[in-house]
Amino acid sequence: MTENDSEQPYMTADKVLLLFGLVTYGIGQSILFIVFPPLVKEIGLTLSQYGFIMSASSLVLALSAIFWGRRSDHAGRKPTLLLGLFGYALGTTGVALALEWGVRGSPEPWVLFGVILLARFVYASLASAINPAASGYIADTTSRENRARGMALLGMTSGIGTIIGPVLGGALAFVSVIFPMYVAVTLALVALVTLAVVLKEPRRHAAPQGQATKKLSLFDSRVRAFLFLFFCFWMFFTMIQVIIAFYLADQIGIEGSDKIAQATASALMAMALMATFFQLVVIQTMKITPRTMLRLGLPAFALAMGVLLVAENLYMVWLSFGLFGIALALSNPGITGGASLMVEPHEQGALGGLFSAAPILGMSAGPLLGSLMYERVSHVFPMQVGLVAFVILSVYAFALHVPDK
């Protein structure tokens, strides 16, 4: 497996613009997790309905990502990315308007449930193009030696978005709880127009003769272990994201939707700050290999679960989410960077689709499983299961073959 990209510059203006677009996407995602959960009961929905909305839309997101990943190998990274940003803006607007209707009007709960679900489906079917196109773009424009660093930059955008999202939510809450979602949409549209004008389509890698029709699958022996780890990581990570607002109220004792939203935002901020620091400073300066990232990231996740399990105050929650941030910063590029080195250049878009689908499949299971375990078993049961699971996965990571370059 060879690539003639060793002389490519690592950071270019194109990559900076791409990262800006992904930051706007991260902002919208973090704002949704801050705005939606505290409004669930106020607009007449149940926790299980909320979990179903997030899980079902995540399933659509996963299935669509596989299609868009392969499509970007043929149609190009840029048009696929632009379509994804448009769909993200459209779907987020739909959810915001539906929440406004629930807060200001008096719709039947089942009707409102259907409207929000439809808006999330629109979002999922189109926004799923963003990550496969972006990861394919990074793979096309970085050398093998810099691949994991490039994938870390992709993860960094989510962390930056998670930092900016709560800040926007808090700063603009005086207008309304939902108003920050409209600001996130506006930023996405600015990114869409900017990228449409400036972003350059990278050089495409042709498939070797005889391999043009071969499709990379979820069960390809080169990448299936990495996909499994990615699925597990995001299933448990999303499980914690979905229940944290309720955990803060029931276990930590925080009262009031506004205070719960602020506490949730502060926990996500702690996570985002640590993730961004590790992705922007530690990984970029120390040039940690994918193997090392993976073997440090998964144990960090297990430790974060253990701290959250015994948390008795908000300070311990912040510590836990800081550890989640470290785990996120190391595990994601470790998994994706390692897998990217296992496949051919012409398969990077398809790989991006699979690696968008695997975590999203985890996200589709996480909210539903988390809410059911939280409601039906105990408030701490999701953390107990997560701690055991990641101790096992950490051991598995040490036995997994991960290329250095």
Domain boundaries, the chain: 13-201+221-399
8 A C-beta contact, residue 335 and residue 230: yes
8 A C-beta contact, residue 245 and residue 132: no
Residue 379 burial (10 A CB sphere; 0-12, 13-18, 19+): middle
Q: What is the rounded distance in angstroms from the CA atom of residue 159 to the CA atom of residue 360?
A: 17
8 A C-beta contact, residue 91 and residue 120: yes
Identity of residue 164: I
Q: What is the rounded distance in angstroms from the CA atom of residue 68 to the CA atom of residue 126?
A: 9
Helix, strand, coil in percent for the chain, rounding step 5: 80, 0, 20
Is the pTM here over 0.75, yes or no?
no
CATH architecture observed for domain 13-201+221-399 = Up-down Bundle (1.20)
User: In 199-309, which residue ranges form alpha helices assigned H by DSSP?
Assistant: 224-247, 257-277, 283-286, 290-309
Within 8 A by CB and 6+ apart from 112, the residues are 43, 44, 45, 98, 101, 102
pLDDT tens-digit profile, the chain (405 residues) = 444 444 455 567 777 888 888 888 888 887 887 788 878 888 888 888 888 888 788 788 878 888 888 788 778 888 999 999 999 999 999 999 999 999 888 888 899 999 999 999 999 999 989 988 888 888 777 776 776 677 767 767 766 776 677 777 767 766 778 888 899 899 999 999 999 998 888 776 555 555 544 566 667 778 888 888 988 998 898 888 888 888 888 888 887 777 887 788 788 878 878 887 887 788 777 777 778 888 899 999 999 999 999 988 889 999 999 999 899 888 888 888 777 777 666 666 677 777 777 777 777 788 788 888 888 888 889 899 999 999 999 998 888 877 666
What tokens were used for 211? 């391999």
- Quickly list DSSP for 263-295: HHHHHHHHHHHHHHHIIIIIHHHH---HHHHHH
